[in-house]
Structure 1
């Protein structure tokens, strides 16, 4: 169950974050977005540097209404966020392949989110520990009390970044293939299959 800390149940939306194509599949509810982030914990962070577009996959997790990730101290992402620049983080998961009777209508059932964020380095030692504890406890409950806490050198060398979600959207597809009426009698199987064969 997703716990909402914010009084606002939906994210802010502008022309930048509003879903246009297949808009009926969109949601701006924090609950939908938080559930996906909590499940995946893998985000692709996009930003610009010296006029170049860069995207980096990172472990990103949620604690309350904030997103967090950690990098080496004085890394380019830390400097970029500390300077006030916005980043874009995307999360996506294919749940099923959708196999239609025509090549054109093959698709996927998926969940995705695109979030625009700004952030800064966490300076408070208590927040630092609470946030790292939250990800370790989520991976394996009770583990934080068994392992060694970060030492002074590790804290100094690690920049824990807190991100505030300024706006964003969630989009998903579920259901069966959308075959054309004239294709329904074609002698080929159609339906859905797990996107990951190991499920």
Structure 2
């Protein structure tokens, strides 16, 4: 199935910035920690930020089994999921040409609840390792009760597209000689030194948390 549909085709600069390959879509999803899930209920729009992880051609989310949000995502309704990584502020000679270098993914799908215990457990493990690499085997093992209290939902990436902007600012011909600085301001997020709470302060920082 082709990912390129009417819904996944950008209205502007589709030929230059739209991408549909596994390589482009997976790379962005694997780097991003959070997504936004949008859906409609009684003609009212809702958007929920959520952590997620990609496994093969699906992304997986988790939530409490008692969550109102979960019930909406597993009843077969269509949702739109978005991810954006902002890499650089693009500073031009005019405010009109200021921009952002970014990588984004838009997904259209329906949620599928995962009831297989082994698949749920694996999804939680991969998500935990994405958020805090090297932590799964260090932590107290997840109990069966905890697995049962958590819902895992997956969404297919069959209808998805990436949109990417890279490069320098744009300029008009009559702006080229203006004495105004132009260039890029990197804004990528960084993991900083972990800050312990009152319990963590009593325990040496484990190697997997030393950035």
TM-score normalised to the size of structure 2?
A: 0.83
Cα deviation for residue 129 of structure 1 reads 1.4
| Structure 1 position 183 matched with structure 2 position 136 | no
Cα deviation for residue 55 of structure 1 reads 0.5
What is the match of residue 44 of structure 2?
52
**CA 1:162–1:196 in 2, change beyond 3 Å: closer, same or farther?**
closer
| Structure 1 position 15 matched with structure 2 position 14 | no
Superposed CA RMSD = 2.0
**CA 1:30–1:153 in 2, change beyond 3 Å: closer, same or farther?**
same
What is the match of residue 184 of structure 2?
192
Matched position secondary structure for 1:19? coil
Aligned-partner Cα distance in 1 for 2:132–2:44: 38
| Structure 1 position 113 matched with structure 2 position 99 | no
Unaligned segments of structure 2, at least 5 residues: 192-211
Aligned-partner Cα distance in 1 for 2:157–2:113: 15
Tell me if structure 2 keeps the 8 A contact 1:78–1:120: no
Segments ≥4 residues shifted beyond 3 Å: 138-142, 196-199
Cα deviation for residue 149 of structure 1 reads 2.5
Q: Aligned pair count?
A: 190
Unaligned segments of structure 1, at least 5 residues: 1-7
TM-score normalised to the size of structure 1?
A: 0.87
Aligned partner (choices 169, 173, 176) of residue 165 of structure 2: 173
